[in-house]
């Protein structure tokens, strides 16, 4: 499912090293644990299989989400290297859920007004993504993001992690967003249909 918007010169990729920035919502970021989460295992596989580096952060409040992304934007001089911001956060349709509090994507857009220029925000199927044209356009216009992608079907015991990794790897190989989406559907048609992969741009 594609929702189109006009292209602009700001949406050109810069040819740099390739990174994924992953942000996972957890119950409590203060709890020390030596257990590696499934997400971290998937990111390690992403590096081993495809040579794609990643930065992994957790948050347990909306303030933590904001602080993590603001630090990335304002302090990381390699911010341009992160083409995709990968969210492992529950929610549905037009909201996310952090510790039982729900926030609309409109609220998220206003938190990061103009700060996500040229980025692709990708949600795992821990959250369903279902935006109408107006909601999608508002989010993209306010944040400056290049696209928002994710899945229309709920988790139901089937994780999107394998398709997520394939998606990220295709972006490493080809910087044309629409070509990547077309190739993803060609190579992983069944998974794309099962999970209802969609991108708003």
Q: What pLDDT is attached to residue 16?
A: 41
pLDDT tens figures, 1-17:
555 443 333 333 333 45
What percentage of residues in the chain have a pLDDT greater than 90?
65
Confidence of residue 166 (pLDDT cuts 50, 70, 90): very high
pLDDT tens figures, 84-105:
999 999 999 999 999 999 999 9
Residue 9 lies in a domain: no
Residue 173 lies in a domain: yes
Residue 10 lies in a domain: no
- Compute the distance between CA of residue 42 and CA of residue 19 in angstroms, rounded to an integer: 14
Q: What pLDDT is attached to residue 100?
A: 94
Higher pLDDT, 24 or 35: 24
State how many domains the chain has: 1
Residue 11 lies in a domain: no
Confidence of residue 18 (pLDDT cuts 50, 70, 90): confident
- Compute the distance between CA of residue 121 and CA of residue 110 in angstroms, rounded to an integer: 15
CATH of the domain at 124: 3.40.50
Residue 33 lies in a domain: yes
Residue 5 lies in a domain: no
Residue 25: pLDDT over 90: yes
pTM for this structure?
0.87
Mean pLDDT score, 21-50 = 86
Query: What range defines the domain where residue 89 resides?
Result: 16-200
Q: What pLDDT is attached to residue 151?
A: 98
- Compute the distance between CA of residue 143 and CA of residue 79 in angstroms, rounded to an integer: 15
Q: What pLDDT is attached to residue 10?
A: 34
Residue 128 lies in a domain: yes
The alpha carbon dihedral of 97, 90, 194, 146 has a sign of positive
Distances (CA, A) of 49 to 43, 62, 86, 166: 10, 33, 18, 10
Residue 20: pLDDT over 80: yes
């Amino acid at each position: 499912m594609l929702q189109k918007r006009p292209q602009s010169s700001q949406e050109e990729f810069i040819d740099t090293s390739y990174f994924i920035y992953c942000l996972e919502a957890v119950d409590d970021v203060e709890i020390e644990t030596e257990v590696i989460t499934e997400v971290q295992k998937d990111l390690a596989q992403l590096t081993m299989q495809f040579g794609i580096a990643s930065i992994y952060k957790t948050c347990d409040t909306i303030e933590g989400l904001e602080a993590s992304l603001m630090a990335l934007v304002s302090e990381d001089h390699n911010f341009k290297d992160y083409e995709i911001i990968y969210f492992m956060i529950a929610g549905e349709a037009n909201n996310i859920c952090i510790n039982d509090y729900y926030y609309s994507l409109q609220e998220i857009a206003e938190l990061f007004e103009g700060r996500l220029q040229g980025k692709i925000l990708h949600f795992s199927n821990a959250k369903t993504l279902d935006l109408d044209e107006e909601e999608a356009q508002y989010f993209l216009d306010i944040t400056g993001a290049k696209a928002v992608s994710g899945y229309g079907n709920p988790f139901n015991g089937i994780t999107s992690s394998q398709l997520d990794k394939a998606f990220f790897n295709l972006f490493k190989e080809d910087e044309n967003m629409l070509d990547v989406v077309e190739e993803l559907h060609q190579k992983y048609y069944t998974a794309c249909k099962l999970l209802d992969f969609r991108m708003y741009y």
